[in-house]
Amino acid sequence: MGWLKGLVIFMGVLIVLGTGVLIYTLATRGAKMAAGATPASSSGATPLTGGFGRAVLDIGSGCEIATSHADSGRLILRVDGPGACRKILVLDPATGAVTGQLDIAPVK
């Protein structure tokens, strides 16, 4: 019966030590996050400080934006419609400028 009492005490000590390690880890990670960089600057992207005003994106007559996706400091638009409308545009959200275009040609 004495061995059971010793085992219970040992497991209680393990629970207390484990809880202490957990609290210490959470506290140090929280302090690092509070003193660290914002998520935008940690990925290498420049944080936005203001808008670019007004920009006009000419996608052509009869064309429409099918999907949009923001990723890694870029705005990616898939333009759909008849003929030359099918393309993918990559924009810089900080300036509104088109930084890349991929024209989608039909398979012949």
Residue in the structure block whose two tokens are 């690092």: 32
CA distance 30 to 67: 37
Q: 48-99 pLDDT, tens per residue? A: 556 667 778 888 888 999 999 998 889 999 999 887 889 999 998 888 888 9
Q: How far apart are CA 85 and CA 30, in angstroms?
A: 48
- Dig out the tokens for 65 from the structure: 């934006």
The terminus-to-terminus CA distance of the chain in angstroms comes to 84
Q: Which helix (H) or strand (E) holds 8?
A: helix 2-35
Q: Model-level pTM greater than 0.85?
A: no
- Within 37-93, residue ranges assigned H as helices are 39-42
Q: pLDDT digits over 22-43, tens only? A: 999 998 888 877 776 444 444 4
